[in-house]
């Protein structure tokens, strides 16, 4: 009779998933570490080695210290087709997509679970800072206890089935505590910097990255009265709320007057730039494209977040629209809005105007 539960844990080589492995093992689970190779084009600027090789080496090293099984899963084809290609397509359409949310929704969690079922594992797990609560009505996704590391925003598109077989061992811990656990366990990555940038791709110069597939097209920068104040290499490379400047490729006709302007709108390949605080930067309501409810449809005391760890804005959900209590700046089409009821993630979807 099978008594010990098996967990397939996504191990990235970072401190979070390493400590998650340790905690699961201490909790009596049989842990299998799984490194996901999803993108092989990013390289270490010093060694010239692909970043994933360095990450895999570290993950395998920690697995050896813990004495757990370790496997590598190659999902690069799926990642390219389902995340990277749509990212280029959306940017070319003038949208600002969030590949991290899409990666969790259509790559990391479903494909990890597919492998878990194949090998007979009972659960999957990751090192995300979020919590799952089981109730009589199903499962709830809650924000992590560490408000400075909470990653529930990135997980908002998961569904009931995902939550039912997923474990988040770090949900009740603070980041400092996680590093301390790793230090005491003598993990070589206890002080390793966390990953940044695009999911599995890393920190890249976005304009250069997009330029691989999206050809630039010079366009005008105008003020709210329609006066031409400069030029840009392609509106698709930029997002609403972004500050313009020559370091980002803008050619400004009057540097002194245009050094603190922000993108308020994109009209085809024309960018409208205004000073901070201008009404053109603000919106009172947005449409939610493909609204997704994790469970329940509360209508009172709702707050919305428009970026990871961004400010929570009060408002009301009316059908597929969210009406903010006060106008909000820098809302970009394609980005995700995540709606909370207290600590619980209620709904999410892409913003549209």
Question: Where are the chain's structural domains?
Answer: 6-127+169-184, 216-276, 282-352
Class of domain 6-127+169-184: alpha beta
- The reply to whether 50 belongs to the active site is no
pLDDT digits (tens, 9 = 90+) for 236-248: 999 999 999 888 9
Q: Which of 207, 125, 139 is nearest to 171 (CA)?
A: 125
Q: Is 25 exposed, middle or buried (0-12, 13-18, 19+ CB in 10 A)?
A: middle
Query: Does the structure show a pLDDT above 50 at 66?
Result: yes
Average pLDDT estimate for 241-264: 84
Whole-prediction pTM value? 0.91
Cα–Cα distance for residue pair 213/279, rounded to 1 Å: 34
Query: Does the structure show a pLDDT above 50 at 119?
Result: yes
- What average pLDDT is seen over the chain? 91
Query: Does the structure show a pLDDT above 90 at 46?
Result: no
Please give the pLDDT value at position 315: 97
238 or 210, higher pLDDT: 238
Please give the pLDDT value at position 2: 58
Cα–Cα distance for residue pair 21/241, rounded to 1 Å: 39
Average pLDDT estimate for 202-220: 83
Least confident piece of the model among 19-33, 67-81, 295-309: 295-309
Please give the pLDDT value at position 208: 83
- The reply to whether 103 belongs to the active site is yes
Six token digits for residue 192: 């390793």
Least confident piece of the model among 36-50, 147-161, 195-209, 332-346: 36-50
Please give the pLDDT value at position 39: 80
The band of 298, judged by pLDDT with boundaries at 50, 70 and 90, is confident
pLDDT digits (tens, 9 = 90+) for 323-333: 999 999 999 99
Catalytic residue among 23, 66, 199, 347: 199
Catalytic residue among 7, 62, 102, 103: 103
Please give the pLDDT value at position 190: 87
Least confident piece of the model among 43-47, 55-59, 192-196, 316-320: 43-47
Percent of the chain scoring above 70 in pLDDT: 92
Please give the pLDDT value at position 184: 97
Average pLDDT estimate for 34-62: 77
Least confident piece of the model among 97-101, 159-163, 180-184: 97-101
CATH number belonging to domain 282-352: 2.40.30.10
Contact indicator for 347, 292 with CB cutoff of 8 Å: yes
């Amino acid at each position: 009779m099978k008594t010990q539960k098996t967990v397939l844990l996504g191990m990235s080589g970072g401190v979070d998933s390493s400590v998650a492995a340790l905690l699961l093992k201490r909790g009596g689970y049989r842990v299998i570490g799984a490194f996901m190779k999803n993108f092989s084009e990013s390289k270490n600027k010093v060694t010239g080695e692909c970043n994933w090789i360095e990450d895999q080496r570290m993950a395998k090293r920690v697995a050896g210290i813990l004495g757990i099984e370790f496997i590598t899963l190659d999902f690069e084809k799926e990642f390219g087709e389902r995340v990277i290609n749509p990212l280029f397509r959306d940017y070319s359409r003038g949208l600002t997509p969030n590949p991290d949310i899409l990666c969790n929704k259509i790559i990391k969690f479903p494909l990890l679970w597919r492998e878990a079922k194949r090998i007979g594992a009972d659960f999957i797990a990751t090192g995300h800072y979020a919590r799952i609560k089981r109730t009589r009505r199903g499962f709830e996704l809650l924000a992590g206890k560490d408000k400075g590391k909470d990653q529930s925003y990135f997980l908002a598109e998961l569904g009931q089935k995902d939550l039912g077989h997923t474990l988040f061992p770090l949900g009740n811990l603070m980041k400092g505590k996680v590093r301390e656990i790793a230090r005491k366990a003598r993990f070589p990555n206890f002080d390793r910097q966390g990953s940044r940038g695009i999911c599995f791709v890393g920190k890249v110069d976005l304009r250069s990255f997009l330029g691989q597939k999206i050809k630039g097209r010079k366009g005008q920068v105008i003020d709210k009265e329609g006066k031409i104040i400069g030029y840009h290499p392609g509106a698709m490379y930029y997002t609403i709320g972004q500050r313009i400047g020559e370091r980002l490729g803008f050619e400004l006709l009057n540097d002194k007057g245009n050094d603190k302007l922000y993108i308020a709108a994109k009209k085809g390949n024309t960018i409208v730039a205004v000073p901070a605080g201008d009404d053109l930067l603000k919106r009172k309501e947005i449409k939610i494209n493909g609204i997704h409810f994790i469970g329940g449809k509360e209508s009172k005391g709702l707050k919305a977040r428009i970026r990871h760890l961004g400010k929570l804005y009060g408002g009301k959900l009316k059908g597929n629209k969210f009406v903010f209590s006060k106008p909000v700046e820098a809302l970009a089409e394609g980005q995700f809005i995540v709606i909370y009821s207290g600590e619980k993630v209620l709904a999410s979807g892409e913003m549209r105007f």
